[in-house]
Structure 1
Amino acid sequence: MIDKTMPFSLKDERENEMKEILTTVYGALKEKGYNPINQLVGYILSEDPTYITTYNNARSLIRHIDRDELLQAMVKNYLGS
């Protein structure tokens, strides 16, 4: 049996948490009939929580994400880094 140490990264865990939150918020916006992409972009640019519905606790959830951290993750994923 080979004993390997598994690397652990809090950054990866945080990115997974942000993705889960965004997926939930996206779904809530879509269910309420909004254009989720437009609403999320509006929120990210302004940090005005009224862009996000309170349905399914989406507004509260989105506030758990730091905008700078989210933008870094988005650019990283977009560029494939």
Structure 2
Amino acid sequence: MRQLDLFRKPRAPARHRPRTMHVFDAGNPSHDGRAYIRLWCKICHHTTGWVPERSVTAERKGRVCPICKGDPAKAKKGVPS
């Protein structure tokens, strides 16, 4: 068994990264065997083009939006909710 390190500083808790992009359109696997999907952010309403799917389990968890990063303060003003 490993001995606990009593003098090490505790780690900082992991930062929560809200996953706001979810799949709204999915296609069949193409000639390369990968399925492609389109994603939509529920905060800033950003949509992506067709991107390769990672896996069904990973896509159900969602992705972090590259525009607003899950922060409503960074969303564009004047976009209908």
* TM class, shorter-length: under 0.3
How does the TM-score come out when normalised to structure 1?
Answer: 0.27
| Structure with the largest fraction of strand | 2
How does the TM-score come out when normalised to structure 2?
Answer: 0.27
| Structure of higher CA gyration radius | 2
| Structure with the largest fraction of helix | 1
